[in-house]
């Protein structure tokens, strides 16, 4: 696709047209990458303005996961050097949420390892959500695996308004990186959360050996599911995991992926997530290739960045943080 065709497609997206799989594949092969990135940025500005959405997380249960996800340091199948603990101390979680709320972060999530939490663990986590709600003003999110409908309902009644369940990768690639559960189970969890009236956050990880066509496949599935908060993780190979030797992605690979996700999901919060420090040296370019949201602070078992530094960088890139508060 040449520059003129990219610009023509950009205008059609602004008028409400959806990008097809074949058009996305043509975009991915575009020789004029600066035009592709600038066009994705124009789509972001058209639908979302310059507001940037921030969220943070507490790693609320770490390690000993029985699933064999090849990328994950928390899997018991791997030998990664991580901290292992059951449900997090309540005060620690409250302090982390309050610290982030005081700095302008809009939402905070409790994230747990494992295929799903037990009912007993969920009861402990609901107490923590209550303490966070009492201690500060911040939106509540949860990421607790493949929960059943009754468990999701309990979270909603506890004040959680958004549930996170990453698809991780395209359906055609999923069995290459995980065999102990299926992507269909993830889709079922997402649909049940949506049926209960919860917002859903779902995205994936790039750099796990998938093709660009498979990244497009993932972006299209997220669109079909109506997901409006999409984390884009960049694989940070961790020693001791099955993907510890995965080759790094190029800058154009990452920026092209972000741009394609924006063309396919024009109204979504496309969110910086894990692996962001790998692209710190071209973060500004990513912010102007379609990104308009971010997880901030320490990211699970991978060190993130200081919230104050992120706020400075995002404002310096022309984004407004206050406008996204509800």
Residue 267 has pLDDT above 50, yes or no: yes
pLDDT score, position 303 = 46
Look at residue 235 in the predicted model and tell me its pLDDT. 96
pLDDT class of 56 with cuts at 50, 70, 90? very high
Tokens 């000993």 -> residue: 64
pLDDT in tens, 276-326: 889 999 999 999 999 999 999 754 444 456 788 888 889 999 998 754 433
> Rounded CA gap, 63 and 72, in Å?
10
Radius of gyration, alpha carbons of the chain? 19
In the prediction, which pLDDT does 142 show?
A: 98
CATH code of 22-324, in short, is 3.20.20.70
What are the phi and psi torsion angles at 75 (to 5°)? -70, 135
- The pLDDT of residue 250: 97
Cα(168)–Cα(200) distance, rounded to whole angstroms? 14
Domain boundary assignment for the chain? 22-324
User: How does pLDDT run across 94-153, given as a tens digit for each residue?
Assistant: 999 999 999 889 999 999 999 999 999 999 999 999 999 999 999 999 999 999 999 999
Give the closest residue to 293 by CA, choosing from 263, 249, 323, 251: 323
Q: Are strands 297-299 and 302-305 parallel, antiparallel or unpaired?
A: antiparallel
pLDDT attached to residue 299: 46
Instruction: Give pLDDT, residue 74.
Output: 85
Residue 197, pLDDT > 60, answer: yes
Q: If you average pLDDT over every residue of the chain, what do you get? A: 93
Q: What single-letter DSSP state applies at residue 86?
A: S
pLDDT of residue 82: 78
- What was the pLDDT predicted at 321? 78
200, 271, 284, 262: which is closest to 234 by C-alpha?
A: 271
Helix (H), strand (E) at residue 159:
none
Between the alpha carbon of residue 46 and those of residues 10, 16, 304, the distances in Å are: 10, 11, 30
Cα–Cα distance list, 260 to 53, 82, 127, 161, 192 (Å): 20, 34, 40, 28, 28
């Amino acid at each position: 696709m040449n520059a003129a065709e990219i610009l023509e497609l950009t205008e059609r997206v602004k008028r409400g047209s959806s990008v097809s799989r074949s058009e996305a594949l043509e975009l991915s092969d575009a020789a004029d990458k600066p035009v592709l990135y600038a066009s994705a940025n124009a789509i972001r500005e058209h639908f979302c303005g310059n507001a940037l959405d921030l969220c943070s997380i507490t790693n609320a249960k770490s390690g000993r996961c029985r699933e064999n996800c090849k990328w994950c340091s928390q899997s018991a199948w791997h030998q990664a050097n991580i901290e292992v603990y059951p449900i997090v101390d309540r005060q620690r979680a409250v302090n982390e949420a309050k610290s982030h709320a005081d700095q302008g972060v809009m939402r905070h999530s409790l994230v747990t390892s494992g295929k799903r939490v037990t009912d007993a663990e969920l009861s402990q986590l609901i107490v923590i959500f209550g303490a966070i709600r009492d201690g500060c003003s911040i939106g509540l999110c949860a990421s607790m695996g493949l929960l059943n409908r009754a468990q999701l309902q309990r979270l909603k009644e506890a004040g959680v308004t958004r549930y996170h369940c990453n698809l991780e990768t395209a359906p055609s690639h999923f069995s290459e990186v995980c065999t102990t559960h299926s992507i269909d189970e993830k889709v079922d969890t997402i649909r049940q959360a949506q049926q209960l009236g919860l917002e859903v956050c779902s995205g994936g990880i790039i750099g796990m050996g998938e093709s660009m066509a498979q990244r497009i496949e993932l972006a299209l599935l997220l669109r079909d599911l109506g997901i409006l908060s999409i984390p884009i993780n960049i694989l940070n190979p961790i020693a001791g995991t099955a993907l510890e030797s995965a080759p790094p992605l190029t800058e154009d690979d990452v920026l092209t992926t972000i741009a394609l996700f924006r063309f396919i999901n024009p109204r979504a919060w496309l969110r910086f997530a894990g692996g962001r420090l790998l692209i710190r040296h071209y973060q500004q370019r990513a912010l102007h290739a379609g990104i308009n949201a971010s997880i901030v602070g320490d990211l699970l078992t991978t060190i993130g960045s200081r919230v104050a530094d992120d706020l400075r960088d995002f404002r310096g890139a022309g984004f407004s943080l206050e406008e996204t508060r509800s």
